[in-house]
Every structure is written in structure tokens, then in C-alpha cells.
């Protein structure tokens, strides 16, 4: 994929941005401002935002603009997601947000080294593109999407590589939730170090 030249100290390709409620993982239920960056080469077949993959199809937004939108929302929590946000140097965006008193989280597959110092690193690795070693060390939260029975063993192997304080989550792939949620419940009951994440924003019909 050819990505147009950008200067990430000034602007980034953005698919969408919105003030909402975090629907997944450790911070589920917390008000948050989401910045969804465009661009991804991981290629999850079940991705529900495939329109984010090509960064050239989305506008560039200045860091000034994004900072003002975050401040106008009145939130204190920003989630940078994608796409695959770690494709870009995020140092300037993250530091600007933190200088404004924001707590900043990232949702990443871990396929790239992160350039920037976040408060919360949600590591959601995919079989389609191997994660870098750094992701296992930085992860505050390991979130595994379950879309096939083999994902449970894969998740167990990954959980042995993350740091000891990392929170562990299974999340059923939305279209296969009816099939896999009972399996996830059974696994978690037998393995109490794991937790369940649901896409509660979809139940609430919010972005």
C-alpha cells in the first residue's frame, strides 16, 4: 500500500473522531474521545472497519484540530485506534494530549513499535501479522478476539509472554458471538486469570 507523505508532527490521516463511551476491555463504560487513524496492513478478515485500511481515502487532520476537538468534548480520556495507529509516529499527538491533562490509551495489534508514551496499551494481536517483541512488554491489556476454536490455545501461548501485571481478555468476534460466547464463558470460569470483553457499544447502539 502506498501511503502519501505526511508529517506526523503536524497532521495524521483520520477516518473518524467522536466522543463516546468505551465499549470494550478494561475501560469499558468509561467516557472517551476516540481518534480512529486511517491505514492498516494487518488485514483481519473479520475487521468491522475495513474502510479504515487505505489511509489515502481519508482526510489529513492537523494535530491542532484534533487537540481542539478533544478539549471541546470535555473528556479526560482519549483512545487512539485504527486501522493500525502505531504505523505512525504518535509522539507529538500523544504529548500534546497529555499536556492538556488527558489520559491516553492506544488500541494496537502490536505489529509496530510504538512511538509515543501512552498511559494504557491495549494489545490486540492478530494471526495475520506477527507482533513485535515490545508489545508484550508494554501491554497493560491483552485482548484476544475469538473467531475460531484454535484461538484459545493461541491466546494461552501469548498470555505467557506478556508482563505479569497485564490484564487478560477474550472478546468474541461480533458476527460469531452466539457460537463462541458460551465457549469463552466456560474457559474463563476454569481459568480465572482471564476476563470477558464484549462490544457493549454495539448493544448501546453508539459509535
CATH number for 21? 3.20.20.70
| 158, pLDDT greater than 90 | yes
**Number of compact structural domains in the chain:** 1
Residue 2 lies in a domain: no
User: Average of pLDDT values for 97-108?
Assistant: 98
3-state secondary structure 5-26: CCCCCCEEEEEEEEEEECCCCC
Locate 26 and state its grid cell.
Answer: 478494561
Contacts of 85 (CB under 8 A, 6+ apart): 37, 106, 107, 108
Residue 3 lies in a domain: no
Q: How does residue 3 score in pLDDT terms, banded at 50, 70 and 90?
A: low
| Residue-range definition of the domain harbouring residue 91 | 11-204
Residue 1 within a domain: no
The reply to whether 4 falls in a domain is no
**Quick check: is 5 in a domain?**
no
Q: What would the grid cell of residue 107 be? A: 488500541
**What phi, psi does 162 have (nearest 5°)?**
-80, 165
pTM for the model? 0.94
Coarse DSSP helix, strand, coil percentages of the chain, rounded to the nearest 5 percent: 30, 25, 45
Q: Residue 60's pLDDT is what?
A: 96
The whole-chain average pLDDT of the chain stands at 94
**Is residue 61, in this structure, part of any structural domain at all?**
yes
Amino acid at each position: 500500500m502506498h501511503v502519501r507523505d505526511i508529517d506526523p508532527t503536524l497532521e495524521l490521516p483520520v477516518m473518524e473522531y467522536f466522543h463516546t463511551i468505551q465499549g470494550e476491555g478494561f475501560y469499558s463504560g468509561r467516557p472517551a474521545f476516540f481518534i480512529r487513524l486511517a491505514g492498516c496492513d494487518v488485514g483481519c478478515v473479520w475487521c468491522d472497519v475495513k474502510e479504515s485500511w487505505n489511509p489515502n481515502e481519508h482526510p489529513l487532520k492537523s494535530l491542532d484540530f484534533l487537540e481542539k476537538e478533544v478539549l471541546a468534548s470535555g473528556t479526560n480520556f482519549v483512545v487512539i485506534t485504527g486501522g493500525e495507529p502505531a504505523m505512525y509516529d504518535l509522539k507529538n499527538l500523544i504529548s500534546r494530549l497529555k499536556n492538556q491533562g488527558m489520559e491516553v490509551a492506544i488500541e494496537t495489534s502490536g505489529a509496530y513499535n510504538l512511538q509515543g508514551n501512552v498511559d494504557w496499551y491495549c494489545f490486540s494481536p492478530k494471526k495475520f501479522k506477527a507482533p513485535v517483541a515490545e508489545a508484550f512488554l508494554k501491554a497493560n491489556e491483552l485482548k484476544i478476539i475469538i473467531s475460531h476454536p484454535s484461538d484459545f490455545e493461541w491466546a494461552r501461548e501469548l498470555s505467557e509472554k506478556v508482563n505479569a501485571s497485564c490484564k487478560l481478555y477474550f472478546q468474541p468476534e461480533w458476527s460469531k458471538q452466539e457460537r463462541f460466547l458460551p465457549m469463552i464463558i466456560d474457559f474463563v470460569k476454569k481459568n480465572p486469570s482471564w476476563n470477558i470483553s464484549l462490544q457493549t457499544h454495539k448493544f448501546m447502539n453508539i459509535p
